[in-house]
Amino acid sequence: MTTDLGHVAERLPIVRSAAWVRGALLVGALLGGLAAVNASPDGGDVIGMWPVGLTTAALVLAPRRQRWPLAGVVLVIGVLTVATGRPPGVAAGYGLGLALSSVLVAGWYAPEGTVRPRLRTDGDLARLLWACAGGATVMAAAGLTTSLVTGVGDPVRIAIPLYFTHLASTLTLLPLVSVLPAQAATADQGERVAQWAALLALGVALFTLGAVPVAVVIIIPALAWGALRVTPLEAVAQLLFVLLIALLATSADLGPLADVPQRYDLFADARPALLGLFCVTCALIVIPLTLRVGQQIAEAGAAAGERDVIQRIVDGSHGVAIIVADAEGRITLFNPGAERMLGYTASQVLGRHSSMLHPPGDGEGQRDFERLRTVLAEPRVGATPVRFRHADGSVRVHMLTLSEMHDARGAVTGYVSTSEDVTEQREAQRALEESLRTEREAVERLREVDEVKDALVSSVSHELRTPITSMVGFVELLQDGTFGEPTDGQRYALDRVHANSARLLRLIDDLLVLSRLQAEQVDEPGVLLDLREVARAGAAVVEASTAERDLEVELDLPEQPLPVVGDRDGLERVVVNLLGNAVKFTPDGGRVRVSLREVEGDQVDQLVELDVADTGIGIPAAEHELVFTRFYRASSATRDAVPGTGLGLAITRAVVEAHGGSIAVVPRAAQDPVGTTLRVRLPRAST
C-alpha cells in the first residue's frame, strides 16, 4: 500500500495543488520573516534565519508560468519584512535577492514545473544540494552587493551568514514538498515515541543550558537513529522539530549558540551563521541516510525477488544437477536434480569437499580437485565429460560446465557446476562405434525415435491448440467485461495472459505447419503467381512492426512480372519469416532490403531469386547450415538475448523445398563486416 501511495504522490500534477497551499506558504514566509527580523542579534546586519524555504516551496509547487509572478510577490514580502528593521536600501537589496534565489532554486530543483520533484536517489539529492547551494550563493551575493552599495555593514560578514541561513532554510524545508522514498517505518510505535522523547529531551537540554557550541552535535546520533528507522516524512519532521527548538532557543538568547559572539569575541552575525551551519549539518546527516535506507530496502526487495526466482529455478531443475561450492571446494548447494542423479541427499554432502563426488584420480584429493577446477573453470572450456561417483558406488559420466563466482572486487568466492548424466548416451555411442554390425539397427532405432518425437510434437500441438484457443476466447470475454468489468490489476493480468497465450498459439501453429511440411501433407503447388505481389504482401505484414523503429526497409522489385507456380500463403510466409527475422536482428539505424530478380539456373531453366539483406548482428559462417535446423538458434542471437523459437527458418526451408527451390545464407564479403543475406531461388514459370 505504501508503494502505491508513493506512485500516486509522484504522479500528482503541481497544477492540482490548491492555490491556498501556495498562499499559506507565502503568508508563513511573511510572518516568519517578520519574526526573523525582530529576532536578529543586537548589532547584527543580516535578518537571521529568514524562511526563504517557504517562498521557494511555493514556487516549486507552482506551474512554471506562475513562478515569475509569484517571485514578484516574494520580492514584496521580502522588502516589507526587512524594512521593519533595516534601511529601505537594504530592504530592497535583500528582497531582490530573496526573489531571485527562490526562482533559481525552484527552476533548478523542479525544472518541469508539472510534477512534484523526486527526492529518492543520489542524483535527486545532488540536484537538491546544487539548487540550494546556488540559491544561497545568489542571496550571499545580493547581501554583499547591497552592503557595498548602501555602505551598511561589512560585506563579507553579511555574505557568510546569509549564505548559511538560506542554505539551511531551503535544505530543510524543500523535502516536505518532494516525493520522498515510500518505505514504511521499521520501528514500532514504542520505539518511535522514544525517539521523539529523546529528541525533545536532548533539544531542550542542549539549547537551554549553557554549553560549548560543539555540544550541539550530541543530538545528531538521535536524528540518525530516526532516519534509519522511521518513514522519510517522519525523519524530516524530526529534523524540523530539532531545528525549531534550536531556532526558538537561540532567538531567545538561550543555548550554546546564543552568546557565541560575546564568548569568542566574534561579530554579531556569527550567531545566525553558526545556527545555519548546525541546521545544514543535521540535514546532510538525515536526508542522505533516509534516501540510502530507501534504496537499500528497494534493492533488498529486488534481490529477494531475484533470489526467490533463482531458488525456484534451481529447485525445479530435476533434469540438471546443480552443485555450488565455496572457494575451498566445500559444497554449499545440492539441488534436487543432483540428489536424483547422484543418489545423495543434500544433508549428506553439504559442508563436505566436492572431491567426495569423484572417483579416485578425478578429484579425490585436494590437489586433484585444484587441478580439475583450474582446467574446467577456464572461460574457453565448454561442457566437459567428468566422472561422478554415485551413492551406490557406481561411476556415472556427466557433461559438466563449471563457472567461477566473484565478489565485487573480482576475487573468486566459489564455483557453480551444472551437469547432465550422459552415461547412457556415451555408452550407446561407444557401442555404436565398436560394432559396425549393429549400425543399421541403431540408425533405424534413432529414426523411429525421431518419428515418435515428431508424432508426439504434432499430437501434443494438436491437443494443446484447442484448450489454449478456448483460454484465449474466455480471456477476451473477461477483457470485454462480459463477466463483469475487471479492475486495473485484473486487466493487466488478463493482458499478460492473452499475450502469452497468443504467443504459445503462434508456436503451436509453427510446430503444426512444420509437422505437415515434413510429413509431406502439403498440396502440390499449382497456382500461377507474380512473386512481386507476394513480396509486397509479405512486406506489408511486417511493416507494422517497424512503424515505431528507426529502420529503413527497402523493396527493390523489377518492373516486369516474375511468375512462379506455387502456394500463395506458403510463399508469403517465406517472405514474412525472412523479412521478420531481418527486422528483429537489425538494431535501430540499420537497413533491410528485399530484392527480386531473374537469373540463369544451372540448367537451361530460368530461376527467380529473392534476397533479403540486413545490416544486423549476422550469423557466424560455421552456422550457415545449422540455422535451418529445427529449434536451432545462432550463437549471435543467443549472445544478444534476441527472443525466438528457432522454427522460422526451418519452416521457410521446408516451404521453399516443397516448391522445388533452395535457400541458403550468402557468405559476407570482406567489406561487409556485419549483416546477413538470405537467398531463395525458385523455378520461374513459363508464361
One-letter amino acid of 517: L
- pLDDT reported for residue 675: 83
As given in the structure block, the three cell numbers for residue 305 are 525477488
* 381-387 LR contacts (CB < 8 Å, sep 24+): 385/422, 385/426, 386/358, 386/362, 386/419, 387/358, 387/359, 387/362
Q: At 141, is the pLDDT very low, low, confident or very high (cuts 50, 70, 90)?
A: very high
As given in the structure block, the three cell numbers for residue 125 are 539529492
Instruction: Yes or no: say if 681 and 609 are a contact pair by the CB < 8 Å rule.
Output: yes
- pLDDT reported for residue 623: 77
Instruction: Yes or no: say if 590 and 607 are a contact pair by the CB < 8 Å rule.
Output: no
Cα(526)–Cα(534) distance, rounded to whole angstroms? 15
As given in the structure block, the three cell numbers for residue 312 are 525456484
Per-residue pLDDT tens digits for 278-336: 999 999 999 999 988 888 887 777 777 777 777 777 777 777 888 888 888 888 888 88
DSSP bridge partners of 396: 388
Which value, to the nearest 10 degrees, does the dihedral of the CA atoms of residues 366, 369, 371, 374 take?
Answer: -120
- Asked whether the predicted pLDDT for residue 175 surpasses 90, the reply is yes
Mean pLDDT score, 229-245: 91
Cα(348)–Cα(365) distance, rounded to whole angstroms? 19
Q: Where do we find the cell 463477466?
A: 483
As given in the structure block, the three cell numbers for residue 84 are 521593519
Which value, to the nearest 10 degrees, does the dihedral of the CA atoms of residues 558, 561, 566, 567 take?
Answer: 80
- pLDDT reported for residue 528: 86
Cα(227)–Cα(196) distance, rounded to whole angstroms? 12
- pLDDT reported for residue 364: 41
Mean pLDDT score, 579-597: 86
Residue whose C-alpha is closest to residue 114's, from 59, 173, 62, 55? 62
Greatest extent of the chain over all pairs of C-alpha atoms, in Å: 115
- pLDDT reported for residue 298: 78
Average pLDDT taken over every residue of the chain: 79
- pLDDT reported for residue 238: 92
Q: Phi and psi at residue 680, in whole multiples of 5°?
A: -115, 130
- pLDDT reported for residue 508: 65
- Asked whether the predicted pLDDT for residue 138 surpasses 90, the reply is yes
Q: At 544, is the pLDDT very low, low, confident or very high (cuts 50, 70, 90)?
A: confident
As given in the structure block, the three cell numbers for residue 671 are 567489406
Structural domains of the chain, with CATH: 2-297 (no CATH), 317-433 (3.30.450.20), 439-518 (1.10.287.130), 527-683 (3.30.565.10)
One-letter amino acid of 342: L
As given in the structure block, the three cell numbers for residue 582 are 531481418
Residue whose C-alpha is closest to residue 181's, from 267, 133, 119, 239? 119
DSSP 654-667: HHHHHTT-EEEEEP
- Asked whether the predicted pLDDT for residue 211 surpasses 70, the reply is no
Per-residue pLDDT tens digits for 367-422: 455 666 666 666 666 677 888 888 888 888 888 888 888 887 878 888 888 888 88
Highest mean pLDDT among 184-198, 250-264, 474-488: 184-198
- pLDDT reported for residue 671: 59
Helices (H), 209-258: 220-229, 232-251
By CB atoms closer than 10 A (0-12, 13-18, 19+), residue 49 is buried
First to last CA, the chain: 72
Beta strands, E only, 409-509: 412-421
Q: At 241, is the pLDDT very low, low, confident or very high (cuts 50, 70, 90)?
A: very high
Distance set, CA 77 to CA 37, 72, 338 (Å): 12, 9, 76
Residue whose C-alpha is closest to residue 553's, from 616, 637, 614, 619? 614
Q: Where do we find the cell 567428468?
A: 386
- Asked whether the predicted pLDDT for residue 521 surpasses 50, the reply is no
Q: Where do we find the cell 514538498?
A: 177
Instruction: Yes or no: say if 273 and 162 are a contact pair by the CB < 8 Å rule.
Output: no
* 430-435 LR contacts (CB < 8 Å, sep 24+): none
Q: What is the CA radius of gyration of the chain?
A: 38
| Buried residues in 189-200 as b, exposed as e (16+ CB within 10 A) | eeebeebbebbe
Q: At 137, is the pLDDT very low, low, confident or very high (cuts 50, 70, 90)?
A: very high
| Pairwise pLDDT comparison (581 vs 5), residue with the higher score | 581
Residue whose C-alpha is closest to residue 511's, from 462, 568, 553? 462
Distance set, CA 291 to CA 209, 592, 630 (Å): 33, 47, 51
Mean pLDDT score, 529-539: 87
Residue whose C-alpha is closest to residue 41's, from 262, 235, 357, 233? 262
Q: At 168, is the pLDDT very low, low, confident or very high (cuts 50, 70, 90)?
A: very high
Per-residue pLDDT tens digits for 242-279: 998 888 888 888 878 877 777 777 887 888 888 889 99
By CB atoms closer than 10 A (0-12, 13-18, 19+), residue 170 is buried
Cα(486)–Cα(295) distance, rounded to whole angstroms? 33
In the chain, count H helices and then E strands.
22, 12
By CB atoms closer than 10 A (0-12, 13-18, 19+), residue 679 is middle
Per-residue pLDDT tens digits for 7-52: 434 444 443 445 778 888 888 888 887 877 776 776 667 776 678 8
DSSP bridge partners of 678: 612, 665
- pLDDT reported for residue 272: 86
- pLDDT reported for residue 365: 43
What 3-state class would DSSP assign to 677? strand
- Asked whether the predicted pLDDT for residue 337 surpasses 70, the reply is yes
As given in the structure block, the three cell numbers for residue 189 are 510505535
**What's this model's pTM, rounded to 2 decimal places?**
0.51
- pLDDT reported for residue 363: 44
